[in-house]
Amino acid sequence: MKALSLSVAALAALFLVACGPSEAEIAANKEKATADSLAALAAMEMSYAVDAANSSVKWTGTMLGVKSHFGTIGLKEGKMSLKGGQITAGGFVADLNTIAPLDTIYAPDGSKQGTKSMLVGHLQSPDFFDVATYPTASFDITRVEGNTAYGNLTVRGKTNEEKVTDIVVTEENGMAKATGKLTFDRQKYGVAWSTGAKDMILNDNIELEITLTGNAQ
């Protein structure tokens, strides 16, 4: 009788083992759990605080028939929200006191005209951005369509709707980077300086390349 009991117990154990998941099923379940976790993460909207020290706006202005000047402007602050690898909201504030030309077509320092410092002074003057009165410019997203973000650009106290195109977003290890392009007509913002010489007209379009780097909040 005792031997019979042991045999029944052994058969029950064998039955339970035989009915358990196979190694392939266990692996498949693990794969599914990982995929579900990644899908849930992608569906979440993540908020990032922009790291101003590692973010910037590159600008380009062209004097038709003569030359182009380009450089960078630093940021004071910013934020962005991302979902599924796309930007959904955000904005930034640029510090116009940090205008820094990067091109090299300037007269040597100390020259009577055409130096880099003279250009910076001119760009910060009332002829252009009037930085003493309006030290910052900003952009705030109002809606997003695909890889284009529409929003309000404010320069010299004037606000108009503009768009950032060709947006590319990367996320990794709690950090995110978003890049995009914005071109605006300076005349809409009172940046109306002109040389008066028709063969040296400053193009009305100012081109910006925006790079925002953020840390997850």
Averaged pLDDT for residues 159-165:
98
Q: What is the pTM of this model?
A: 0.78
Under the banding of pLDDT at 50, 70 and 90, the label for residue 202 is confident
Task: Inform me whether the pLDDT recorded for 4 exceeds 70.
Answer: no
Which domains, ranges and CATH numbers included, belong to the chain? 2-42 (no CATH), 45-216 (2.40.128.110)
Under the banding of pLDDT at 50, 70 and 90, the label for residue 43 is low
**CA separation for the pair 211, 59 (Å, rounded):** 12
